Structure 1
Amino acid sequence: MSRFSRYDTDEERLPDGMQRVGYDADTQIYTYRDADGSYWEGAPGNEYGQLTQVSNGGGPSRHEPIDAALRHHMWEEERKNWRQGWQPLLNFFLIIGLFLMLLTWWLYWTPSEQLPQCGGQAVPYKIHKGDTCWAIAGKHKMRVEDLVKANNKLNCDKLQIGSSICVPSVI
């Protein structure tokens, strides 16, 4: 306990006749009432300090009623401020949405790799890393010329990994 804790009460810190009557948690503003009935507010976040008068004792508030045109203008300004405040988050959601759309397009709309239509005596073969025409023909116990003849326009120097070719079955 602090040795100055006795000075932390409202009676010690507030002017004579001033009493704390409320606190608004949203704006973090304390409200005080003076001996003559007038209301005062402190600065946001400060429990004590400089006070600002909000209303006179017993009389109406110092704020004048707002006409409809001014109220509409204030509402438009507040709506613009809302958009500006949320703009970075809306941009983030836009980027996430575009990413998800592109991912969906890539997964579902790109054509799947179709195996080549091989004749009745041939089977499809998918080319792997390190495959050459010589190695493929050797695995299937055939000549390279038979492999090239079975695949129209096959260039043995440019085999692409993942592509498919037809390998004739040897009987």
Structure 2
Amino acid sequence: MTKVAQDSARLPEGMERIGYDSDTGRYYFRDRDGSVWQGAQSAEFSEMTRVSDGAGASSTLDEDVEAAPRRSDGYQPLATDTDASYSKSTNSPYRTLFPFFLLIGVVLLLIWRLILAPGLSAPKSVCPTGAKSYLVEPGDSCWEISRTHGCSLDEFKAVNKKIECDRLMPGTTVCLPGVPDPK
């Protein structure tokens, strides 16, 4: 059942719904005399109160829409328009769609990076043969790692020439001499 059929069944004869104000949540109606009536706020079915008489009622609701200046494309000016004239430079649909396409591009790059190309970020074992790789944990030092795994600090530094013991960070991979790497 359409809204028009519903309205004719529940409204008095000669009344018709003429609008809805989404800001206030009120329905507006017009009777045979041209008087405008409004319903209670945020209620589709309610007691109606008269807003205006039939004499000047034809333009009271439509003032916002009809009296507003129009842009050259027929639409009302937007809040972001600087003046009533409409600039052709903002008429591009790409300007509106650019953030959407940018978001799609970022998501596709993340999918490629995390799912399709995980091998690019996997650490490769750079330890020489006869050495085992070890992942540095918080609180580890070069001396502590070499002592724990049974090698001297000099042997440890000889295998890990690029490692600076003063700046050893957790998550760094180092090599332990004398222990074969299980592969």
Tell me how far apart the structure 2 counterparts of residues 144 and 73 of structure 1 sit (CA, whole Å).
79
Q: Given the superposition, is the C-alpha separation of residues 155 and 48 from structure 1 closer, same or farther in structure 2, using an over 3 Å criterion? A: closer
Shift of 1:134: 1.2
| Counterpart pick for 2:132 among 118, 123, 126 | 123
Query: TM-score normalized by structure 2?
Result: 0.50
Aligned pair in 2 of structure 1 residues 104, 51: CA closer, same or farther (>3 Å)? farther
- Cα RMSD for the two superposed structures: 4.2
1:170, distance to aligned residue in structure 2 (A): 4.6
Do the aligned residues in 2 keep the contact of 1:29 with 1:41 (CA within 8 Å)?
no
Secondary structure, in 3 states, of the residue corresponding to 2:74? helix
| CA 1:74–1:22: 2 relative to 1, 3 Å | farther
**1:149 maps onto 2:155 in alignment:** no
| Pair 1:21-2:15 in alignment | yes
Correspondence for 1:77 among 72, 75, 78: 75
1:42 to 2:44 alignment: no
Letter matched to residue 133 of structure 1:
C
For the structure 1 residues 73 and 146, does the alpha-carbon distance in structure 2 shift closer, same or farther, using more than 3 Å as the test? closer
Larger radius of gyration: 1
* 3-state secondary structure, aligned to 2:126: coil
Alignment check: 8 A CA contact 1:122 1:169 kept: yes
- Letter of the structure 2 residue corresponding to residue 159 of structure 1: L
1:82/1:24 CA distance change after superposition, 3 Å: farther
Tell me how far apart the structure 1 counterparts of residues 15 and 73 of structure 2 sit (CA, whole Å).
Answer: 30
Following TM superposition, by how much is the alpha carbon of 1:154 offset from its aligned partner in structure 2, in angstroms?
A: 2.4
Change in CA separation of 1:77 and 1:44 when aligned onto 2, cut-off 3 Å: farther
* Identity value in percent: 21
Structure 1 residues 104, 163: CA separation in 2 closer, same or farther (over 3 Å shift)?
same
Once residues 52 and 82 of structure 1 are traced to their aligned partners in structure 2, the CA distance between those partners, rounded to angstroms, is 33
- Which residue in the other structure is 1:101 paired with? 106
Cα distance in 1, alignment partners of residues 105 and 36 from structure 2: 49
Distance in structure 2 (CA, Å) of the matches to 1:99 and 1:75: 30
Contact 2:159/2:175 (<8 A) preserved:
yes
Q: 1:105, CA displacement in angstroms?
A: 7.7
Q: What is the identity, as a one-letter code, of the residue corresponding to 1:21? A: M
User: Structure 1 residues 170 and 163 mapped into 2: Cα distance closer, same or farther (>3 Å)?
Assistant: closer
Q: Distance in 1 between matches of 2:175 and 2:165?
A: 13
| C-alpha spacing 1:98/1:76, structure 2 compared with 1 (3 Å) | same
Tell me, in whole angstroms, the C-alpha distance in 2 between the residues paired with 1:161 and 1:100.
Answer: 33
Q: How many residue pairs are counted as aligned between the two chains?
A: 123
CA separation of 1:99 and 1:165: change in aligned 2, threshold 3 A: farther
Note if 1:160 corresponds to 2:158: no
